[in-house]
Amino acid sequence: MPVPDDSLFMRRALDLAALGLGYTRPNPMVGCVVVGPDTTILGEGFHQQYGGPHAEVNALASVADQALLRQSRVFVTLEPCAHHGKTPPCADLLIAKGVPEVIVCNDDPNPLVAGRGLDKLRAAGVRVSTGLLAEAGRQLNRRFFTFQEKKRPYLVLKWAESADGFLAGPHFQQVQLSGPQAQLLTHKWRTDEAAILVGTRTALHDNPHLSAREWPGPQPTRIVLDKNLALPPTHHVLDGSQPTLIYTHRTRSGTPNLDYVTLPFAAAGEAPSPDLLPAVLADLHARAIQSVLVEGGPTVLTALLNSNVWDEIRIFRSPKRLERGVAAPRMGLRGWHSREKVGPDDLFIYVNN
């Protein structure tokens, strides 16, 4: 019987890690597989939710014969931690269990870890190797790596447009462009990201809930850029039903689940101040909000596109035509990363490499 390739075990660990999407933030998604001396999988686990046991803890605990750990190899998608956080250090656990070899997909860029876990394992005599399926690991944890390395949330820009390139009807008249499948997928995306952001005009005209009502999972933090606090108190985003941040240039006291943050806006006009979006992103980083789904209108979307501050763009293109209305952003987008049918709509995804 052929010996399984190590990449198969790491691929399994990555697949396990992905099960934590939306639940582990702001921690990364991590999977772990324990392989015995006869190359069979003895145990596996993943980080299921923030504050809960890490992947290594779950995987090691799932091994029926703990004595075999001293002859096993452990595949883990991210460097084992070496510090006390919500849970004890995983590097210490691996050492205590006598694991002789650890294979790691990605080093951890978090300054609290950043090589300390690998150093601790090696100092204890554990054989350590890194970089197996590293690109796949970075893709899986792209939100975490962006947050740690760029000091801002991972930004996903999303909009629906007509076949002739309009976001809405004349005078921002709301038009249902995307089909039910695209709407359901959008609600799923809202559970994937830590927050969802819109501008004042979108919040005023659409009165959105900005919630994941049609898909099970964690609710995102709602973010609204509302310079003059123009939203009526009856609007859904002010109902206190989920955490909400309102960025404004005015001052107002918050209420439960509703915080007002005073930041510099442009003195006149609708375009955000050049200092506004960096200030918003810096504040979100300080709040440990790892990723944001931007469902704003053309003003917010264009500002982010102009500054080239985005990571993904997801566009639903409807077969419907409007003939006139509010134009969708263009900004010379080309070379889409992927394209697929979602019900009657085409989904285009762009990646900012």
Per-residue pLDDT of the chain (353 residues; tens, 9 = 90+): 555 799 999 999 999 999 999 999 999 999 999 999 999 999 999 999 999 999 999 999 999 999 999 999 999 999 999 877 667 899 999 999 999 999 999 999 998 788 899 999 999 999 999 999 999 999 999 999 999 999 999 999 999 999 999 998 888 888 899 999 999 999 999 999 999 999 999 999 899 999 999 999 999 999 999 999 999 999 999 999 999 999 999 989 989 999 999 987 765 555 566 678 999 999 999 999 999 999 988 999 999 999 999 999 999 999 999 999 999 998 777 777 899 999 999 999 999 98
Phi, psi of 222 (to 5 degrees): -90, 135
Question: Is 56 annotated as catalytic?
Answer: yes
CA distance 138 to 140: 5
pLDDT at 330: 80
Q: Which residue segments constitute the domains of the chain, with CATH numbers given?
A: 6-146 (3.40.140.10), 153-351 (3.40.430.10)
Q: What letter represents residue 133's amino acid?
A: L
**168 strand-pairing partners:** 326
In terms of Cβ atoms closer than 10 Å to its own Cβ (0-12, 13-18, 19+), residue 321 is exposed
The two counts, helices (H) then strands (E), for the chain are: 10, 16
Select which of 56, 79, 295, 312 is catalytic: 56
Q: Taking the CB of residue 339, how many other CB atoms lie within 10 A of it? A: 11
DSSP characters over 177-216: -S-HHHHHHHHHHHHHSSEEEEEHHHHHHH----S-TTS-
pLDDT at 109: 93
pLDDT at 271: 59
Angle at 214 between CA 260 and CA 318, to 5 degrees: 95
pLDDT at 302: 92
Determine how β-strand 101-106 pairs with β-strand 127-130. parallel
> Tokens standing for 43?
């145990």
Buried b (16+ CB within 10 A) or exposed e, 125-152: ebebeeebbeebbeebbebbbbbbeeeb
Strand order in the sheet with 258-262: 258-262, 244-248, 221-225, 195-199, 291-294, 154-161, 312-317, 345-351, 338-342
CA distance 126 to 137: 22
Do 190 and 211 meet the contact criterion of CB atoms below 8 Å apart? yes
CA distance 3 to 33: 16
